[in-house]
Chain A
Amino acid sequence: MANGKSECLREGATPGEADKELARRRGTALWVAREIVPHEARVRRWLARSRLSPEDVDEVMQEAYCRIAMLPSVDHIDRPLAYMFSITRNLLLRRLRRQQVVVLEAVSEIETWQDETPSPEEQAASRISYERVLAIIGRLPERCRRVVELRKIEGWSQKEIAAHLGMTEKAVEKQVWTGVRAIRDAWLQAEALSENRMLGADRREARSW
């Protein structure tokens, strides 16, 4: 296939399927939230080792998410992280072939991924703690913070929040939008932070020997 991205196109949903599509999308996102997001930094690190530029890493990651988004269901995937690795691996190999100049070391790095299980340190480095979530939410503008707290910590629906705060549902949705963006940015920062933490851990180890 000349352009792998074309596989990402999905036929437009027929009318009447909005709810079904919404549920499928949500199911997949929940699965990704649980199984992949906590390990994303690790996948990125592995990609970076094959000498891809950060922009290329972003693109491969997004293509990989694209593949997952296309699945009708994720129930059949037994080992989510391994599955994510094999998708990114295929995308990466294809990309390297397209570039024609195949860096041999890069390919051998790609072949080694199966030997890796995340070390406890890596797992710890890739988490974003509840405390940090609270801190992120705490920094949001007052009105937005109130809405996000009720939505994420208390688990209220947007409709319930609107009634409680005397806002329109649209206004609540807008505050949630701001919250989504803030949390997305926080994840990006968490990734950078986890890189630093890993480096820090390496240094600590080096000293203790």
Chain B
Amino acid sequence: MVTLAGDQARDEAARFVARMDADDWTEADESELQAWLAEDPLRQGLLLQVQAQWLALTPEVEAPAVPVEEEEEPAQSGWGRRGVLAGLAASAALAFVGLRWSQSPAAYTTKLGEIRRLPLPDGSVMTMNSGSELTVSMATKLREVQLAQGEAWFEVAKDAQRPFVVAAGNVRVRAVGTAFSVRRRETGVEILVTEGIVETWADGDQSLRMKLEAGDRAMLSAHAVIDYETGISSSVDRALAWRGGMIDLNGRTLYDAADEFNRYNQRQIIIADPRVAREEFDGLFRVNDPEGFAEAVKASLRVSLDTSNPNLIRIE
């Protein structure tokens, strides 16, 4: 008996899957398929496998939030606005009863150059980067952060009953017990994972669902995965040097470096010469020391500085 379906049987299975994928499945098709299936009992399994693999890559396979932890019930409550409203309603109700999760969503902001470390009521710790704005709501079923602007790094306390979700525009990042950062940029939302694993997706677009693990970096927009890198723990750590008030430039261009300093300081760095801007640069600097950085650039690339304007540093 031919037990293992060979390549031929696989091709035939694929052909039936393609036909079932069309809109006009007829009685004749069904009979043909039944006859084919009857030839080898294992074909039922083969057909299911091939059909499932084809369907698994289609956006319409709406996973009910694939749980990060096996035992955890998929959170059925809506995310986004609905989640916040539910949180609001829940906390409004609880305010009367006076339970411990009863705080309404709390808003936090950091000014330019300010880096703020905040313990959250659930035991998680949030570190906000310069110029950021976010709202935290702790409901009984869900911990949710709405990142309106900027960047924050989250060390999430493990609680399988209450997933921790960060919403940045349409992009969602979800964790149970893990550490990761989310940053809103002009081009999209950047996610860096330093510990454990997180799940990301875009609200309303299941096809963008992906899992990121420690050392992964992803850049997502509302409609596409723009960039994805895996196994880059050291550059993830470097990108998060701001948590210690530092900027770690490891072969980044001067243009990127200036951009980075300008996130933290009133005094902006301008690079006049585009050729200089493309130079790569190494070093560890304090976020609030653009002058020190400019001096280092001057010394190593032999460029001149114009520091006459207190609000600007021109690298020429």
Contact = CB atoms under 8 A, between A and B. Distances in A.
Interface of A: 5-6, 8-10, 12-13, 15-19, 21-22, 25-26, 28-30, 32-34, 36-38, 55, 58-59, 61-70, 81, 117-118, 120-121, 123-124, 127-131, 133, 151-153, 155, 157-159, 169, 172-174, 176-177, 179-181, 183-184, 187, 200
B303 interface: no
A173 B18 contact: yes
A138 to B, nearest CB: 13
**Which one of B17, B51, B52, B61 has the highest number of Cβ atoms from chain A below 10 Å of its Cβ?**
B52
A12 B23 CA distance: 22
A184 B14 contact: yes
A75 to B, nearest CB: 14
B129 to A, nearest CB: 26
B44 A8 contact: yes
B42 A12 contact: no
Contact of B213 (A36, A121, A130, A177): A121
B86 interface: no
Contacts of B60: 155
Interface in B6-58: 10-11, 14-15, 17-27, 29-31, 34, 37-38, 41-42, 44-58
Interface residues of B, number: 63
B45 A64 contact: yes
Nearest to A117: B70
B89 to A, nearest CB: 30
A13 B30 CA distance: 8
Contact of A159 (B22, B71, B210): B22
B69 interface: yes
B222 interface: no
B241 interface: no
A127 B45 contact: no
Given A22-B30, A34-B63, A173-B22, A127 B44 contact: no
13 contacts: A12-B31, A18-B29, A28-B48, A32-B48, A58-B4, A59-B3, A62-B42, A66-B41, A70-B44, A120-B197, A152-B59, A173-B19, A177-B17
Nearest to A176: B18
Given A13-B30, A81-B70, A124-B213, A38 B56 contact: yes
Contact of A124 (B3, B62, B197, B209): B197
Given A155-B60, A184-B14, A36 B52 contact: yes
B159 to A, nearest CB: 15
A68 B5 CA distance: 18
A5 B58 CA distance: 31
A37 B52 contact: yes
A159 B225 contact: no
B18 A174 contact: yes
A181 to B, nearest CB: 5
B48 A131 contact: no
Given A58-B4, A151-B21, A169-B22, A8 B45 contact: yes
B207 A130 contact: yes
B54 A183 contact: yes
Contact of A21 (B30, B58, B63, B210): B30
Contact of A63 (B25, B42, B50, B63): B42
Contacts of B19: 173
B41 to A, nearest CB: 4
B68 interface: yes
Contacts of B18: 173-174, 176-177, 179-180
A208 B59 CA distance: 38
A173 B208 CA distance: 26
B196 interface: yes
Contacts of B55: 26, 29-30, 33
A130 B69 CA distance: 21
A153 B225 contact: no
B108 interface: no
Contacts of A70: 44
A105 B196 CA distance: 32
Interface in B134-180: none
A128 to B, nearest CB: 7
Given A9-B38, A34-B61, A184-B50, A158 B45 contact: no
B126 interface: no
B109 to A, nearest CB: 32
Contacts of A32: 48-49, 52
Contacts of A64: 45
A30 B208 CA distance: 18
**Which one of B24, B25, B228 has the highest number of Cβ atoms from chain A below 10 Å of its Cβ?**
B25
Contact of B197 (A123, A151, A157, A179): A123
Given A22-B30, A123-B211, A127-B211, A183 B44 contact: no
B70 A118 contact: yes
